[in-house]
Amino acid sequence: MPKGLTRKRDARLAAILDAAERLFVEKGYEATTVADVLDTVGMGKGTFYHYFNSKEEVLWAVVERLTATLVQRASAIADAPGLDAHSKMVQLIAAINIAQTPDGAIIDELHHPANAQMHRQTLVETIRQVAPIMADIVGQGIAEGVYSTPRPLESVEFLLVGISAIFDEGYFVWAPEEFASRAAEASRVAELVLGAKRGSFDFLVGRVAG
C-alpha cells in the first residue's frame, strides 16, 4: 500500500479510536452506539466497517491502545543495561501506574458502572501484557540474589491482580486509615511472595496512594 494511503488509513483509524474512547468515557460503553462514533468523526458506515466489524472490536482496540504505552515503558525499563533488578522493579511499578500518565483522567470514568466492561478489559489486558515483563525482572533478581520465588510469572500475576483489585475504587472505597493499613500489607505481601528482604517494597505505600 502506498505511504500516502497508509497514512490516511492510520489517521482514520486514530480518529475512530479517539472518538470511541471519548464517547465511552462520556456516555459509557453500553450507551454508546456505532452511529454515535460515526456522527462524531463524520464517517460513513462503509468506511467504519472497513476497520471494525462491531463495537466490541472497537472496545478492544481502545483497550489495547491504552495499555500500549505502559507496556512500551515497562519493556524499556526491563531491557535497560546496567540496572539492577530491584531498581528496575521500582521504576516499572511507577511506569505502569496509569493514574499518573497522560491517560490518567480516564481512570475516574472507568470506575463508573456504565464503563464496567471497559474497566475490566483494561485491567486484564494490562496485567496480561505486563506480567511477563515483570517476571523477567524477577528472574534477574533471583540471579542477583535479591528475590527468591520458584514461579516468577505466577507470583507476579497474583501480586498484580490482588493489588490492582484491592486499591481499585471501582471495587472498594476505603477510609484513610483502612487504605493505609492495606498499603502497608501490600508491601509486606510483595516481599513475602517474591522472597525480598524486609522493607524493600515499602515504596509501594506511596505508589498505591498515588
The domains found in the chain, sorted by start residue, are: 1-53 (1.10.10.60), 62-209 (1.10.357.10)
- Own/partner pairs, 44-48, CB within 8 angstroms, 24+ separation: 47/12, 48/16
The beta strands (E) that lie in 19-174 are given as none
The length of the chain is 210
pLDDT of residue 5: 53
What torsion, rounded to 10 degrees, do the Cα atoms 94, 100, 103, 104 define? 130
Neighbours of 16 (CB within 10 A): 23
As a whole number, mean pLDDT of residues 75-99 equals: 89
pLDDT band at residue 1 using 50, 70 and 90 as cut-offs: very low
pTM of the model: 0.73
pLDDT band at residue 37 using 50, 70 and 90 as cut-offs: very high
> Highest mean pLDDT: which of 92-101, 150-159, 170-179?
150-159
